[in-house]
Amino acid sequence: MKFSPAGRPFSLKIRLTFFISLATIIAFVILTSIMLNSVKNHFAEMDVKDLNKIKMTISSILLNPAESEAQKVEKISVILASYRHISVLLLNSENQMLYQSPDGPNLLPILKTRNFVESLKSGKVFQWRDATLNSVSQDDNSQKVYRIIAASASAPYHDKNSTCTFVVSFSIDFHLHYLDELKYNLWLIAAVMCLLIVLIVLFAVHKGHTPLRHVSMQIKNISSENLDVRLDPEQVPVELEQLVISFNHMIERIEDVFTRQANFSADIAHEIRTPITNLVTQTEIALSQPRSKKDLEDVLYSSLEEYNRMAKMVSDMLFLAQADNRQLIIEHTPIDLRAETLRVCEFFEAWAEERNVTLDIRGHAGWVAGDALMLRRAINNLLSNAIRYTPEGQSVQVTLSNQDEWVKLVIANTGVVIGPAHLPRLFDRFYRVDPARQRKTEGSGIGLAIVKSIISVHLGKISVESDKVSTRFTLLLPRLIS
C-alpha cells in the first residue's frame, strides 16, 4: 500500500483505520442485504400463500355441482370483493371469459405466455409486469407488477362437465414500494453508519497508538548526554515489549561504544602526552646551558627512543583502524603453529632468563592457514605480556593441542589474579587493570587489542581466564585439513 510518488507506505494509523473500517462496513452491508432479502422472501411467501388460498377457494366453488355458472361467478365476485389487491380471470372450456375482476388488470395477454402454461401444469407462481402502461410512460416504475397463478377445474352442471380455467393475480406494488423505501432508508442509515464507523475507528486507532507515541517521545528525548536512559518493558503493551527490550539492548551497545570512544580519546591523549612531555623536557634541559657533544648525543638518543615509541604507537593504531574497517589483507599459506611459537619463544629466551622466568612449551598441534607475520605478532604480544607479569622464579606455560576442527594455543602465567570485572575488557584499547593507568611498563595498552584483531581476521577465537592458579589466554584457529 503506497500513496506517494516516492513510494512511501501509508501510516499505520491509516492502514488500521482502512482495514478495520472496510471489514466493519462489509459486515454491515452484508447484514443489510440479508435483512432486505429476508423481508423480500417473507413477502413472497405471504403472497404465494394468499394466491394458493384463493386458488383453492375458487376450485372448491367451481367443483360444486349444485350451483349454476352464474351463481358460481357471482359467489366468486363476492369473495374477491374482500381482497383488495387480488384479481381473477375466469374462462370456460371454449376460452370464453366468464368473469374478470372489474378493477383488475387485463390478464388475457398472459394466456399466450410460457409461464402461464407452466403454472397451469405445476401450479407454480410467477411474476408478471403489466406493460399496458408503456404507451403512457416510458418509466418502468409506472408498470404494475403482479404475482400470478393459473389453474383449471372441472365444473359439473346438469350431468355435464365443463373445464374452467382461471388466473389469479396479486398486485405486489405496495410490497415493492415498501421494499424500495426500506432499501433507501437502510442504505442511507448504512452510509451514515459507515461514516461514523470510520470516525470511531480512526479515534480508537489514535488512542490505541498512544503507547507507541509515548515510546517514540521517550526515544526522541534520548541524546548522547543521557544514553543511560532505559525504557521500562513493564510500562508498555505486550506487543511493544520486545521492541522496547531490543531498543534497550541497542542503546546499551551504543552507550558502550560512546564510553569506549570517550575513554579512547583520553587514553590516547595520555599515551602521547608522556613522550611529548619527555621530549620537551629533555630539549629544554639541553638548551638551558652549553652542553658537550657527548651530552647532546645522549639527548638525541633519548629523543630517538621516544620517537620510536610514538611511531610504534601510530603504527599500531593504523593497524587497528585497518582491522576495524576490514582492510587488512592477509596471506593464506599453510603454517606450522608449533614452529612459529618456538621461533617467538627463542626470541624471548634472553629476556626471560634476565627476569629469571622459564618458558615451558608442551604439546603438538596441526597446521593452520593464515599470515605467518601476523600470527607471530599475536603470539609475540601474548608471550611478552606473560613474561612481563610472571614473578621471578616462575614459568610461562605454552600448550598446543588439537580440538575438533580447531588448533588450540594456551599461554598461561602465574601472578596477580585479574578480577572478573576486568576480564571482558582486557582486549579494549588502552584498557589497564590499574585504574591510575600508570606507565610502569613499556606497553602501550593496545597489544591485546591487536591480538584480538589478528585472531578475528583469521576467523579464530580468543578468550582469557584468571584464577589463583594462573591467567590463561586461549587461542583457537581453524585447523587446516590436508
Q: Of 316, 335, 303, which Cα lies nearest the Cα of 443?
A: 316
The reported pLDDT for the residue numbered 396 is: 93
168, 58 Cβ separation under 8 angstroms = yes
Q: Please report which confidence band the pLDDT of residue 356 belongs to, taking 50, 70 and 90 as the band edges.
A: very high
The reported pLDDT for the residue numbered 420 is: 86
397 has a pLDDT exceeding 90 = yes
Those residues whose C-beta lies under 8 Å from the C-beta of residue 416, and which sit 6 or more positions away, are 389
439 has a pLDDT exceeding 50 = no
Lowest mean pLDDT among 83-92, 335-344, 412-421: 83-92
Phi and psi based region of residue 382 (left: phi greater than 0; alpha: psi -120 to 50; beta: remaining): alpha
Counting Cβ atoms within 10 Å, is residue 303 exposed (0-12), middle (13-18) or buried (19+)?
middle
Q: What percent of the chain has pLDDT over 70?
A: 89
Mean of pLDDT values over 210-227: 81
Give the separation between CA 397 and CA 410, rounded to whole angstroms: 8
Give the separation between CA 467 and CA 446, rounded to whole angstroms: 23
Please give the CATH architecture assigned to the domain spanning 233-323.
Orthogonal Bundle (1.10)
Which residue ranges make up each domain of the chain? 12-132+141-199, 233-323, 328-478
The reported pLDDT for the residue numbered 303 is: 86
Cross-strand bridge partners of residue 148: 126, 169
Greater pLDDT, 423 or 461: 461
Mean of pLDDT values over 298-310: 84
Mean of pLDDT values over 307-322: 77
pLDDT in tens, 412-425: 998 888 888 888 88
254 has a pLDDT exceeding 80 = yes
Query: Which residue reads 606497553 in cell numbers?
Result: 443
Winning range, highest mean pLDDT, from 18-22, 266-270, 324-328, 392-396: 392-396
Give the separation between CA 104 and CA 86, rounded to whole angstroms: 8
DSSP H helix total and E strand total for the chain: 10, 12
Main-chain dihedrals φ then ψ at residue 59, nearest 5 degrees: -60, -40
Q: Please report which confidence band the pLDDT of residue 6 belongs to, taking 50, 70 and 90 as the band edges.
A: low
Q: Please report which confidence band the pLDDT of residue 138 belongs to, taking 50, 70 and 90 as the band edges.
A: very low
Pure H helices in 209-237: 210-220
The CATH class for the domain spanning 328-478 reads alpha beta
220 has a pLDDT exceeding 60 = yes
Q: Please report which confidence band the pLDDT of residue 15 belongs to, taking 50, 70 and 90 as the band edges.
A: confident
pLDDT in tens, 259-290: 777 766 676 777 777 788 888 888 888 888 88
Q: What is the average pLDDT score of the chain?
A: 81
In the three-class reduction of DSSP (H, G, I as helix; E, B as strand; rest coil), residue 320 is classed as: helix
CA distances from 312 to 179, 343, 361, 445, 446 (A): 96, 22, 29, 12, 11
Mean of pLDDT values over 325-335: 78
Give the separation between CA 33 and CA 56, rounded to whole angstroms: 34
In the three-class reduction of DSSP (H, G, I as helix; E, B as strand; rest coil), residue 92 is classed as: coil
pLDDT in tens, 109-137: 888 888 888 888 888 888 888 765 333 33
254, 219 Cβ separation under 8 angstroms = no
The alpha carbons of the chain give a radius of gyration, in whole angstroms, of: 52
pTM of the model: 0.51
The reported pLDDT for the residue numbered 406 is: 92
Q: Please report which confidence band the pLDDT of residue 411 belongs to, taking 50, 70 and 90 as the band edges.
A: very high
18 has a pLDDT exceeding 60 = yes
Mean of pLDDT values over 373-380: 90
The reported pLDDT for the residue numbered 133 is: 39
CATH of 12-132+141-199, one of 1.10.10, 1.10.405, 1.10.8, 3.30.450: 3.30.450
Q: Which amino acid is at 264?
A: F
The reported pLDDT for the residue numbered 217 is: 85
pLDDT in tens, 45-54: 888 888 888 8
The reported pLDDT for the residue numbered 344 is: 92
The reported pLDDT for the residue numbered 135 is: 31
Q: Please report which confidence band the pLDDT of residue 300 belongs to, taking 50, 70 and 90 as the band edges.
A: confident
